[in-house]
Structure 1
């Protein structure tokens, strides 16, 4: 398969790209904001469209990119919240809406949510809202796709590789290795499910 991994420079995306490229089974195209085989700004319609125009037809799209805002609600403004939604929720939806037209028949899209939607954390209101939006979009969009197209999401808990940055927000949580999370993306791409949320570590 010809698979596009957006966010391939991050902890999740890098592991996903490495797992999918193992043994040469798939051709993996690594895409990032600042480094990769191709560059893209997923907050921009034009940038996402230009990426897929360059790539042409693909068999699978993975989005492991987008940042949430971790901040107390009493310090968050509507503008802050909207900016975060643009980065995590709407950017992933944008890739799905544009990228669907470049998928070969039977192709798939896999988005990324996270544990905060099921297990809220302090300063995590934005993360919970963004992740809930992604999961709701996936479940509903799966009802509309034609040509055998599928869409799923992976919802990991905090990664072991990210504990140095995000561990203080997840006290008492046991991290999971990124390699284990990557297997859920493989399941989404190589399996038969659609409209599923694969939860890893929670």
Structure 2
């Protein structure tokens, strides 16, 4: 009986590829999935499974190595605040390359390697109801990602779903800022969402039925009010 039970659990295990697995959010996502007995393949710029979303050949190689999977999560990608006074067209081009084009390229390739009913979950950075100075490039690229996901979702084949997580300020990242940085950003009273709680949104995207949605951690809305 025990052997049969163990075989059933093993058979039901799903394989999830997490890209950006060494970052604050990525590591929390890996931990949350392993807690639920998913088979997790961790990929990053360094490590056993290496990938750089700005290098298409590394994406192609990664999918050859991992084979068929049930879900892909992307937590990679970053952005910087750029004041309007020094803003240039190149900043928007760099933002697109860093945050948008890599995740789009990943999605285009992931579809062919996902099992029927699989899911893709990518990451944006729309974290404000009220934008802060220097966030125009971030708003540009992240709203582009949100729109892309909504538009492409109905076209995906074989029951594959795609959603996007907007994690907002992560508590651990805020705690690494000094008081001057937080004051400059107007974040003195923002507590952020713990990385573990942000990770649950990614688990929800994998296990749920939502399609083409932007998902935010439940307790993020308080911080957006800048109380």
Secondary structure, aligned partner of 2:140: helix
User: 2:26 aligned with 1:10, yes or no?
Assistant: no
CA contact under 8 A between 2:164 and 2:213: conserved in structure 1? yes
Distance 2:192 2:148 in 1: 26
Structure 1 residue 73, shift from structure 2 partner: 2.2
Q: Which has the larger radius of gyration?
A: 2
What is the total number of aligned residue pairs between the two structures?
200
Cα deviations by residue, 1:24-73 (Å, 9 ceiling, x for unpaired):
x21001111123x3010101221111111111111100000112131112
User: 2:33 aligned with 1:20, yes or no?
Assistant: yes
Worse-superposed segment, 163-172 or 126-135: 163-172
Distance 2:138 2:130 in 1: 11
Match of 1:49 in 2: 60
- 1:52-201 → structure 2 map (5 Å cutoff): 52-116=63-127, 118-163=129-174, 164-165=176-177, 167=182, 168-171=184-187, 172-200=189-217, 201=220
Structure 1 residue 116, shift from structure 2 partner: 3.8
Distance 1:101 1:149 in 2: 10
Unaligned runs of 5+ in 2: 1-13, 222-227
Q: TM-score, normalised by structure 2?
A: 0.83
Q: TM-score, normalised by structure 1?
A: 0.93
CA contact under 8 A between 2:169 and 2:192: conserved in structure 1? yes
Distance 1:108 1:188 in 2: 8
Distance 2:146 2:173 in 1: 22
Distance 2:171 2:98 in 1: 23
CA contact under 8 A between 2:127 and 2:167: conserved in structure 1? no
CA contact under 8 A between 1:110 and 1:153: conserved in structure 2? yes
Structure 1 residue 133, shift from structure 2 partner: 1.1
Unaligned runs of 5+ in 1: none
